[in-house]
């Protein structure tokens, strides 16, 4: 027997999530914080990690880390936290828990590809609702579609990926209030947006928040967290793989989050560089720059495939997006030097 005869047809039809090789490149494709920890903190972290007992399983629920996150991230009293191996893990956990036969997942489109992919993996019916041409959110159209489809699960990225758009708060509230199922607000880029629904968790019994520490500068440790009412977290915890967050991740996160001011200072620097990069991008002929509240920009260019390949030949790696985002590339806000290299290379790639 062959895989083609045994694997589910919907899996055979999928393409695996692609991550490009980045050795030797100016890496502006993955929305990473370009700044490492300061040298003194790196030495301190090394000492902490050296003391970790690798022969022991991790504390399964990450109790100390959950307590620290709840305090540092101002999680409302009475809410619980669930840890994941990145926010991707949590998206999968939630989807798997909600995937009753015939259940519907809804989300605006284009958005983070893992929502729809997890719908396919778990057998949910995905209903993407198109954004407007300028990638703004038509809340009334979305709510009208919700009333017809009656989704068990709604994902809203706030701000959205890959567009960078931060939907108006009132529009998000319309969706939460109208939803008969669970609404997940994905706040992966909250540190750049300056807005969050975390303080409003206590208002809505059908709301949970998912975040990651990746964009704070800790992408390599793979840590996400979900905040919500205890009754939701109790059920999601049944789906979570035992020991899904390893001892090194827990130790590194405890160390780094106790020094959150350093990471938030880097985020503030990236926000200031975002403004400078936007001015430079807007000065390039043939480029449409969409407004962003994240640490990246979506650019519409005359020929996305050609621009991507020309940048790559110049040693600059950006993200060439899927067909749902017509003729667009996505670029991460880098260091000042990286941003200058990008602008020079992009100017060359457009000629």
CATH number, position 115: 3.40.640.10
Q: Based on the domain organization, do 60 and 136 belong to the same domain? A: yes
Question: Residue 23: helix, strand or coil by DSSP?
Answer: coil
Q: Are residues 32 and 65 in the same domain?
A: no
Residues 16 and 94 in one domain: no
Q: Are residues 241 and 274 in the same domain?
A: no
167 and 32 inside one domain: no
**Residue (of 342, 263, 338, 265) closest to 308 by Cα position:** 342
29 neighbors 22 (Cβ within 8 angstroms): yes
What is the reported pLDDT for 322?
67
Helices 86-98 and 230-239, axial angle in degrees (round to 10) = 100
pLDDT at 93: 98
Alpha helices in the chain (DSSP H): 3-6, 9-12, 39-50, 63-72, 86-98, 113-122, 139-149, 169-178, 190-193, 230-239, 247-257, 260-282, 304-313, 336-349
- The predicted-structure confidence for 201-238, as pLDDT tens digits, reads as follows 999 999 999 999 999 999 999 999 999 999 999 999 99
Phi–psi pair at 350, nearest 5 degrees: -85, -10
Same domain, 74 and 217: yes
Does residue 328 register a pLDDT over 80?
Answer: yes
Answer yes or no: is pLDDT of 126 > 70: yes
Helix (H) or strand (E) holding 153: strand 153-157
DSSP class per residue in 263-294 = HHHHHHHHHHHHHHHHHHHHTSTT-EE---SS
CA distance 151 to 125: 9
Residues pairing with 328 in the sheet: 300
Q: Please give the residue that has the higher pLDDT: either 5 or 332.
A: 332
Question: What does the alpha-carbon distance between residue 197 and residue 246 come to, in Å, rounded to a whole number?
Answer: 28
Q: Which of 211-215, 298-302, 321-325 is predicted least confidently?
A: 321-325
pTM: 0.95
Domain shared by 188 and 326, yes or no: no
Residue 45: pLDDT band by 50, 70, 90 thresholds? very high
| 182/251 same-domain check | yes
**Lowest mean pLDDT segment, chosen from 9-23, 113-127, 191-205:** 9-23
DSSP string, 159-182: S-TTT-----HHHHHHHHHH-SSE
Q: Which of 213, 244, 259 is the last residue of a domain?
A: 259
Do 98 and 212 sit in the same domain of this protein?
yes
* Structural domain contains residue 209: yes
Number of structural domains the chain divides into: 2
* CB within 8 Å of 275: residues ≥ 6 apart: none
Q: What is the DSSP letter of 215?
A: G
How is residue 219 written in tokens? Answer: 């992408």
Range of the domain at 242: 52-259
Asked if the structure places residue 68 within a domain, the reply is: yes
């Amino acid at each position: 027997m062959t895989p083609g005869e045994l694997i589910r047809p919907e899996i055979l039809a999928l393409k695996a999530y692609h991550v490009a090789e980045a050795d030797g490149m100016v890496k502006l494709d993955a929305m990473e914080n370009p700044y490492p920890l300061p040298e003194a903190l790196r030495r301190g972290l090394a000492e902490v990690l050296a003391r970790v007992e690798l022969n022991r399983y991790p504390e399964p629920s990450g109790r100390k880390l959950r307590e620290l996150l709840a305090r540092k991230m101002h999680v409302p009293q009475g809410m619980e936290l669930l840890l994941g191996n990145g926010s991707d893990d949590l998206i999968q956990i939630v989807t798997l828990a909600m995937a009753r036969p015939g259940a519907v997942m809804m989300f605006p489109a284009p958005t983070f590809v893992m929502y729809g992919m997890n719908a396919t993996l778990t057998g949910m019916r995905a209903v993407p609702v198109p954004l407007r041409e300028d990638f703004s959110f038509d809340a009334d159209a979305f709510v009208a579609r919700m009333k017809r489809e009656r989704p068990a699960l709604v994902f809203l990225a706030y701000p959205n990926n890959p567009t960078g758009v931060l939907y108006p708060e009132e529009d998000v509230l319309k969706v939460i209030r109208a939803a008969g199922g669970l609404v997940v607000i994905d706040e992966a880029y909250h540190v750049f947006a300056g807005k969050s629904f975390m303080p409003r968790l206590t208002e809505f019994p059908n709301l949970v928040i998912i975040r990651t520490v990746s964009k704070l500068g800790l992408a390599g440790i793979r840590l996400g967290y979900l905040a919500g009412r205890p009754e939701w977290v109790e059920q999601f915890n049944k789906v979570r793989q035992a020991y899904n967050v390893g001892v090194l991740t827990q130790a590194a996160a405890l160390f780094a989050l106790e020094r959150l001011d350093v990471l938030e200072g880097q985020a503030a620097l990236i926000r200031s560089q975002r403004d400078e990069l936007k001015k430079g991008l807007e000065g390039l002929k043939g480029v449409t720059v969409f407004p962003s509240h994240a640490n990246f920009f979506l650019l519409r260019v005359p020929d996305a495939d050609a621009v991507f390949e020309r940048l790559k030949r110049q040693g600059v790696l950006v993200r060439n997006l899927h067909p749902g985002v017509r003729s667009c590339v996505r670029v991460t806000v880098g260091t000042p030097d990286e941003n200058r290299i990008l602008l020079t290379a992009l100017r060359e790639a457009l000629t």
